[in-house]
Amino acid sequence: MTDPSREKDNRIRGSKAHAQASVDAPPGSGSPASQTSNRSGTAEVASTDAPRQFTAAEVLSLLVDAIAQLETAGKVPLAAGVSARMRTMLPGFSVEQTEFGSFREITQAAEEAGLVAVTRTPNDFALRLVARPASPDLRGATLKTDLWRAIQDTDASVGYVYDRVTRRTARVAGTTTEHEVAVQTLSKEELLGLMREFAAAQHGSDATDLTSALEQTEGAQAFRLVTNRAEPLKRRWNRTLRGRVLEVAVSWATKNSIPLTHILETRDGKLAPSARVIPTTGREGMAIDAEVTAEGESELRREVLAILAAMPLHELLRLPIPLGHALKR
């Protein structure tokens, strides 16, 4: 017969031993200490993992990709569907993780940036990607020398004109003719601003010397003296300046409907083949220089095919193709 008092004592001693073992044992997968530690660790990690914040550029890029997918699938990209597609493409994405207050603000920003066109429907907004003209490939091309020098002349008292007939650039001398167009040139402030940006992007003594030079009275001249001291620095500056001058020239030519083939050339003096495809002015598609000869037709075809190969599918689907070409297949 079991003694009740002895059985009670055994239970008490067993409980104390179990409690002591739980305290003394190293935290393992099955111990209470381990469970407490794991729960505490999980909570700590969760508290430090803040939701990712998306930049405006990332949001607009995601918006464009979502619209492109819907257009490619033959669907009308309504705002609700585009928003849902964005969350599908990037799980966890939400407007709260952006700088925008609502999805409508995202579409408005895209519209202002010229990326999409927004149309009001009875129950929603329809979004459509805006065709963007292909930028010409300017690799290996440079401006004709006279135009190059004119754009870099920061003397505000001197003006330049480009003659559409002779395709030459010269200083303004009296009254201009109907064939002449005023050339857009860099101002002294613009050139100094470009020099400051370049100096800020350098490192070590180059950055220090360039910044000090720009603080002098004749800052631009002192800046050039510093860049000419070292060939690598000189090459970097020349590339930067060349890029800026080309940007000004292409923008000016486009605004004035001047074909890029009229102002660009390669080192061997021939017109840059890549410039034969020029930006459009208000129409979708491509404007081809009318002066392309029969000898250059095959080369031009190769260039056009290369451009088509690089275009995204949603833009290819919007290209107007004459029905006759489809019937020939």
Q: Which domains does the chain have, with CATH numbers?
A: 56-129 (1.10.10), 142-296 (no CATH)
Instruction: Give the separation between CA 262 and CA 240, rounded to whole angstroms.
Output: 23
Question: Which residues are CB-contacts of 171 (< 8 A; sequence separation ≥ 6)?
Answer: 158, 159, 160, 161
Give strand ranges (E) for 43-137.
116-120, 125-129
pLDDT for the residue 39: 38
**Tokens of residue 235, six digits:** 């090459």
Instruction: Give the separation between CA 257 and CA 67, rounded to whole angstroms.
Output: 32
pLDDT for the residue 326: 55
pLDDT along the chain (329 residues), means of 10: 50 45 42 40 45 81 90 89 92 88 92 87 88 58 87 90 91 85 91 91 90 90 91 90 87 86 68 38 33 48 67 69 57
Q: Which H or E run contains 152?
A: helix 145-152
- Looking up tokens 């459009």 gives 280
pLDDT for the residue 136: 56
Instruction: Give the separation between CA 307 and CA 133, rounded to whole angstroms.
Output: 11
pLDDT for the residue 22: 41
**Tokens of residue 232, six digits:** 């690598």
pLDDT for the residue 303: 62
pLDDT for the residue 306: 64
Q: What is the dihedral of CA 205, 206, 211, 212, to 10 degrees?
A: 60
Distances (CA, A) of 226 to 213, 214, 216, 230, 257: 8, 10, 12, 8, 39
pLDDT for the residue 79: 92
Q: How far apart are the first and last CA of the chain?
A: 104
- Looking up tokens 């949001």 gives 59
pLDDT for the residue 74: 86
